[in-house]
Structure 1
């Protein structure tokens, strides 16, 4: 494929993907260098570019396109997963994803891209991007686990709870299984949220019983980074970052 044809049909692309379709690899390398100098393409990071061909002139850069072009197996995670599932309470300017391709954060436009180590077997599903194509995102259950384990990567504990509770449904057994395999603290956090949403999510009592049993006798925190505790979830032996009434109001 001719270079100009390629950048007219591929909005975000990797150097290797370009070279694989080029009529001449050496010529394509030189044309890419010249195009970058002229502004016909913009460098996102090493080996990753955005085309500024006329057909893309009025379209912004979809972060999902960037992530997918960087690594087709990347998995949107944490707050980015909340956004992909359509439940984020606030929109962010970070795009977090699991990948084995990149290790260092990078920025393009107004978005900060933050890679996390890839984890084999992390539950994932495909979602359609805002512009084109699809990308992987953690499942609802994995997203609940992730955001309660690391609320600092999900916009903070209030943002995490408000967003997670907006999920229309999830498999409470799978969510509980992830927590039970981790720690007593995670059993308490996930159990607390499942109990708060038990009616909407149709959480079986036996699932809550398992989580209570796993967290019994261990004092934990809903937000591990909270400087102080202002409330107490008695049924879960868990400190809350604000009063019980205030934290309860975060649940949609």
Structure 2
């Protein structure tokens, strides 16, 4: 167990880290094999390992720390960012990771790690524990962009209801980087329903409206019961917040 405390301190590590600790490639490979056999460490995927707690027999690093070490540019994003910040209504058994570096989705310790190609490259926070994560405002915008694929509209709304406030300038900066008129539409319509609780001013929505596309849009594909929202040039539920309170409906699958 000579090197075990150092590996616990690292949490996640690669063969190169073992080489630094042991002093040679051969010693690193030998240590890796011996410690895996003894249950001190586990392989997450090729060339990524975690230290295992001797007390709990569970990985020492959290799933967010593991996700941040999948690639050099891996970022915990979307609903997973809400979970990290404590603003998620549900805990998913998957972690969404934006990364330009390609990797195949994989499962480790009953958690699925899913790669999403990034559409935005700024607004990343570097946490003291080594987690790279979307800022809260980026998580909001990217989740609005893909709510139909990640968590659904109802879960997104429940997460937004837990957030105490958002920075308008950061939201607009993320939207500007996306440069997507439809996303301005969706963001404006959804966040306008929570403007008071999120402390978002009218100037934010006024700016969003300057980027609306000319064509009519639908908030999502399941359009039963939609009405026309003239301010946003979009068909959507009369009150999106009603989805949170109406229980199990067709919207639950969105």
Of the structure 1 ranges 88-97 and 116-125, higher mean CA displacement relative to structure 2 is found in 116-125
Match of 1:199 in 2: 196
C-alpha offsets along residues 187-229 of structure 1, whole Å, 9 cap, x if unaligned? 1111112322222333332322232242264212223xx3434
CA distance in 2, matches of 1:27, 1:151: 47
Q: Please, what is the CA RMSD of the aligned residues? A: 2.9
CA distance in 2, matches of 1:122, 1:102: 19
Match of 1:91 in 2: 91
CA gap 1:59/1:37 in 2 versus in 1, 3 angstroms: closer
Q: TM-score, normalised by structure 1?
A: 0.82
Match of 2:29 in 1: 29
| Structure 2 unmatched runs, 5+ | 246-254
CA gap 1:19/1:69 in 2 versus in 1, 3 angstroms: farther
CA gap 1:127/1:161 in 2 versus in 1, 3 angstroms: farther
CA distance in 1, matches of 2:62, 2:99: 18
CA distance in 2, matches of 1:78, 1:97: 8
Alignment of 1:136 with 2:132, yes or no, is yes
Q: Which aligned runs of 4 or more in structure 1 are off by greater than 6 angstroms?
A: none
Of the structure 1 ranges 17-26 and 212-221, higher mean CA displacement relative to structure 2 is found in 212-221
CA distance in 1, matches of 2:86, 2:203: 29
| Structure 1 unmatched runs, 5+ | none
CA gap 1:123/1:99 in 2 versus in 1, 3 angstroms: same
Alignment of 1:145 with 2:138, yes or no, is no
Deviation at 1:59, TM superposition (A): 6.3
